[in-house]
Amino acid sequence: MRRHTVFWFPFSCSFLYRFLHTGVMSDVHVTEHPARIGILLDYSGGRLLFFNAERGLVLFTIRHKFTDAAHPAFALEKAGALTLRTVMELPEFVKHS
Show pLDDT as tens, one digit a residue, over the chain (97 residues).
556 666 666 566 678 888 877 788 888 888 888 888 888 888 888 988 888 888 888 888 888 888 988 888 877 778 888 888 887 677 777 766 6
Whole-prediction pTM:
0.73
pLDDT of residue 6: 61
Per DSSP, 56 falls in state T
H/E stretch holding 92: helix 92-95
What pLDDT was estimated at residue 34? Answer: 82
Which pLDDT does position 7 carry in this prediction?
62
User: E-strand spans in 1-97?
Assistant: 4-10, 15-21, 24-30, 37-42, 47-52, 57-63
